[in-house]
């Protein structure tokens, strides 16, 4: 579903970071582990089409995203990639449900409030649908972020440090939830983290190291 | 959830932040559009009432006052002139004059002026009868549209006038009972607010007053028997009463470019104790006097509009910075740079639109209030419920201001490096 080939990135005035090739099939889960500063977020942004690929290639569901135009990449990202950030941002002016529906609209899909509500229900946050997003706790917000990443049934779900702020019990719970939902949506799930607790829980993993 | 909806939600999320910009914008637009409304209606009234009158001749005094009184009926007369002095003007065969229309003022009914004149005045303003006939006998009147509408007078009705130009019960001429002979169609000119009768009627009303005798109209007076003698409306008839007075004469030249015509007014001013004034010149003078005020107001309005555009710019810029993660997020969710640019531009346009709507409503309500006031004071009908073509221009300019104010924030938002923004912790 997603694979990379010789992905290299160089920040201005920095050295080349060469990332190991990764591969993750649909309904699978891949863990990318690494300590701070090894380029985890850079890799995530490269995979997510947020950062322009300089060298190498990223193939998502048969599309080489490094070959897409800027506008093409925006559309592709909206339709095929769901991203859960460590710190999740929302459109503050909108309600919980509207934030999820917005992801549908911006991806160029039909706004389907019913589907959005069902997804929120599945994530046990449906009762807060009409609340303003600002009134939710961090844990609740993370569930909304997961719903938003899943709503378009993307080919790829990227999660950036989804568990690092959580205690052991919640860490396990969120991981299960993510995996479950990714499977249900038929997506490949890539988790990028420095949280070593996840190491034993996910077999398929890549470890990033400084060169 | 379209970009437009999103822009709208962003605006109403924090209305207090934007209140200032919107109020300022509304004020600027309101002032400009009020000035447009007021000026256009004022000009329209003045222009319509110019009615191709080339010269007004009356008693010496302020020429502007004489014009305002004789043509616009909003000021008091400068005095009266004896017919024997005005006689040369009133003679049919004057080589320069096409039409000379005598006016006699002095009375009102419910503050509508009663004007003694001839039928030429009706033609001058293209007046047409709606009902009844033009006046023929003494104390018969033909009334303008506004008079009929406001007083409810109908053909055949009788009424009693008051002396002067404002209604005052103590000043009623109880003895002079006027009879409505006809009602004119609305012309949009000053004709609508006049009560027209023959010149002799004005004399009769005032002879009674001067004599201090309460007589019924039509009775013998100074050996002049009105009951079997009706004054016709011709200027020739006026010349039979050289001892009487009229207020002024409205004059149309045969040819405006005639050299003698150009000097005609000056001759009167220099060689007689009457004065002549050209309406076009006096009204231009008036425009210039009012113009200083409206120019200052207009500059103020433009200044307010610019400051408000600046305030829209600042509030959009501030809100864009506060929302930089939101904007990055919108990009991640699939919105291209164009969409983000459009989002901020739309917010600017919506603000401008709200400001425009508020300003327009304010200006029209303001104009209507002023119109009520003007109507009460001058019997001039202005209205706030009129849409000017220029207001579309104001609308366009408002949108352009909104667009320009939003341009820099929108470009900045579109250019935001999402990778960098999202990497910030």
User: Do B216 and B315 have their domain in common?
Assistant: no
Q: What is the SS3 assignment for chain A?
A: CEEEEEEEEECCCCCEEECCCCEECCCCEEEEECCCCCCHHHHHHHHCCCCCCCEEEEEECCEEHHHCCHHHHHHHHHHHEEEECCCCCCCCCCEHHHHHHHHHHHCCCCCCHHHHHHHHHHCCCHHHCCCEHHHCCHHHHHHHHHHHHHCCCCCEEEEECCCCCCCHHHHHHHHHHHHHHHHHHCCEEEEEECCHHHCCCCCCEEECCCC
Average pLDDT, chain A: 89
Q: Is B348 exposed, middle or buried (0-12, 13-18, 19+ CB in 10 A)?
A: buried
From chain A, the residues in CB contact with B9 under 8 A are 91, 93-94, 98
pLDDT at position B176 over 80: no
Would you say residue B400 lies in a domain?
yes
Would you say residue B395 lies in a domain?
yes
Distance of alpha carbon B308 from alpha carbon B311, whole angstroms: 5
Instruction: Tell me the shortest Cα–Cα distance from A67 to chain B, in angstroms.
Output: 17
From chain B, the residues in CB contact with A83 under 8 A are 332
User: Do B8 and B68 have their domain in common?
Assistant: no
pLDDT at B166: 67
Task: Name the class of domain A2-207.
Answer: alpha beta
pLDDT at B59: 94
pLDDT at position B182 over 70: yes
Q: Any chain B CB within 8 A of the CB of A90?
A: yes
| Whether the model pTM is above 0.90 | no
pLDDT at B167: 63
User: Do B249 and B126 have their domain in common?
Assistant: yes
- Domain end, chosen from B249, B277, B305, is at B277
Q: In this complex, do A106 and B330 lie within 8 Å of one another by their Cβ atoms? A: yes
pLDDT at B226: 45
What's the domain count of chain B? 2
User: Do B254 and B329 have their domain in common?
Assistant: no
Q: Is B225 exposed, middle or buried (0-12, 13-18, 19+ CB in 10 A)?
A: exposed
User: Do B32 and B12 have their domain in common?
Assistant: yes
pLDDT at A100: 95
pLDDT at A144: 93
pLDDT at position B269 over 80: yes
User: Do B88 and B191 have their domain in common?
Assistant: yes
Average pLDDT over residues A125-145: 91
Q: In this complex, do A105 and B2 lie within 8 Å of one another by their Cβ atoms? A: yes
The residues on B that touch A, with CB distances below 8 Å, are 1-2, 6, 9-10, 12-13, 323, 325-326, 328-339, 418-419, 422-423, 425
User: Do B359 and B232 have their domain in common?
Assistant: no
Question: Which range, of B119-123, B144-148, B185-189, averages the lowest pLDDT?
Answer: B185-189
pLDDT at position B212 over 70: no
Highest mean pLDDT among A132-136, A180-184, B35-39, B186-190: A132-136
Q: Which residue range forms the structural domain that includes residue B72?
A: 55-277
Q: Is B222 exposed, middle or buried (0-12, 13-18, 19+ CB in 10 A)?
A: exposed
pLDDT tens per residue, range B188-211 = 788 999 999 999 888 888 776 665
Would you list the domain boundaries of chain A?
2-207
Would you say residue B290 lies in a domain?
no
From chain A, the residues in CB contact with B331 under 8 A are 74
Would you say residue B250 lies in a domain?
yes
CA distances from B257 to B55, B56, B96, B234, B279 (A): 13, 17, 11, 27, 16
pLDDT at B214: 43
pLDDT at B254: 87
- Domain end, chosen from B277, B310, B328, is at B277
Q: What is the DSSP letter of B186?
A: P
- Domain end, chosen from B245, B277, B309, is at B277
Q: In the structure, what pLDDT confidence band is assigned to residue B221 with cuts at 50, 70 and 90?
A: very low
Would you say residue B71 lies in a domain?
yes
Tokens of residue B148, six digits: 């009929």
Nearest CB partner across the interface for B334, out of A51, A94, A107? A107
Would you say residue B288 lies in a domain?
no
User: Do B343 and B208 have their domain in common?
Assistant: no
Would you say residue B38 lies in a domain?
yes
Please tell me which residue, B379 or B291, carries the higher pLDDT value: B291
pLDDT tens per residue, range A84-129 = 988 889 999 999 999 999 999 999 889 899 999 999 998 889 999 9
């Amino acid at each position: 579903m997603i694979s990379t080939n010789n992905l290299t990135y160089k920040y201005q005035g920095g050295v080349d970071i060469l990332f190991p090739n990764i591969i993750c099939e649909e309904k699978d889960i891949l863990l990318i582990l690494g300590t701070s500063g090894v380029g985890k977020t850079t890799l995530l942004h490269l995979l997510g089409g947020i950062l322009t690929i300089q060298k190498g290639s990223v193939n998502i569901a048969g599309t080489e995203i490094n070959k897409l135009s800027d506008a093409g990449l925006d559309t592709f990202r909206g339709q095929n990639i769901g991203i859960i950030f460590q710190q999740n941002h929302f459109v503050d002016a909108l309600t919980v449900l509207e934030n999820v529906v917005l992801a549908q609209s911006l991806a160029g899909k039909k706004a389907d409030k019913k589907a959005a509500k069902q997804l929120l229900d599945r994530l046990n946050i449906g009762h807060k649908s009409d609340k303003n997003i600002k009134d939710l706790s961090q844990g609740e917000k993370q569930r909304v972020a997961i719903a938003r990443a899943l709503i378009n049934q993307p080919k790829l779900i990227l999660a950036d440090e989804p568990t690092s702020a959580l205690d052991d019990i919640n860490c396990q719970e969120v991981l299960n939830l993510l995996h479950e939902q990714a499977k249900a949506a038929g997506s490949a799930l890539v988790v990028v983290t420095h949280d070593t607790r996840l190491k034993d829980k996910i077999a398929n993993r890549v470890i990033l190291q400084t060169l | 959830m379209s970009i437009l909806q999103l822009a709208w939600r962003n605006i109403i999320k924090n209305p207090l932040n934007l209140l200032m910009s919107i109020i300022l914008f509304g004020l600027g637009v309101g002032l400009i559009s009020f000035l447009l409304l007021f000026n256009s209606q004022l000009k329209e009234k003045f222009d319509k009432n110019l009615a191709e009158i080339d010269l007004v001749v009356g008693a010496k005094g302020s020429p502007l006052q004489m014009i305002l009184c004789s043509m616009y009926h909003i000021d008091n007369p400068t005095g009266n002139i004896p017919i024997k002095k005005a006689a040369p003007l009133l003679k049919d065969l004057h080589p320069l004059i096409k039409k000379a229309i005598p006016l006699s003022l002095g009375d009102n009914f419910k503050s509508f002026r009663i004007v003694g004149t001839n039928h030429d005045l009706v033609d001058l303003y293209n007046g047409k009868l709606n009902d009844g006939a033009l006046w023929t006998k003494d104390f018969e009147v033909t009334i303008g549209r506004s008079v009929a509408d406001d007083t409810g007078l109908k053909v055949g009705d009788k009424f009693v006038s008051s002396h002067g130009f404002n209604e005052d019960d103590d000043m009623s001429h109880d003895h002079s009972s006027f009879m409505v002979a006809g009602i004119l169609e609305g012309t949009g000119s000053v004709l609508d607010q006049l009560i027209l009768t023959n010149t002799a009627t004005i004399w009769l009303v005032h002879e009674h007053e001067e004599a201090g005798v309460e007589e019924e109209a039509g009775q013998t007076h100074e050996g002049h028997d009105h009951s079997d003698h009706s004054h016709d409306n011709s200027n020739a008839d006026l010349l039979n009463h050289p001892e009487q007075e009229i207020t002024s004469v409205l004059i149309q030249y045969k040819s405006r470019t005639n050299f003698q015509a150009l000097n005609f007014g000056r001759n009167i001013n220099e060689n007689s104790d009457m004065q002549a004034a050209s309406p076009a010149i006096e009204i231009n003078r008036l425009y210039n006097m009012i113009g200083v005020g409206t120019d200052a107001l207009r500059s103020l309005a433009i200044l307010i509009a610019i400051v408000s555009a600046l305030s829209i710019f600042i509030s959009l810029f501030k809100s864009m910075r506060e929302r930089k993660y939101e904007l990055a997020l919108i990009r991640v969710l699939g919105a291209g740079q164009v969409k983000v640019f459009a989002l901020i531009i739309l917010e600017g346009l919506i603000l401008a639109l709200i400001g425009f709507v508020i300003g327009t409503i304010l200006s029209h309500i303001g104009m209507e209030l002023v119109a009520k006031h003007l109507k009460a004071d001058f019997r001039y009908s202005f209205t706030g419920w009129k849409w000017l073509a220029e207001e579309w221009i104001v609308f366009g300019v408002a949108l352009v201001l909104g667009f320009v104010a939003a341009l820099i924030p929108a470009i900045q938002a579109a250019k935001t490096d999402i990778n960098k923004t999202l990497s910030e912790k």
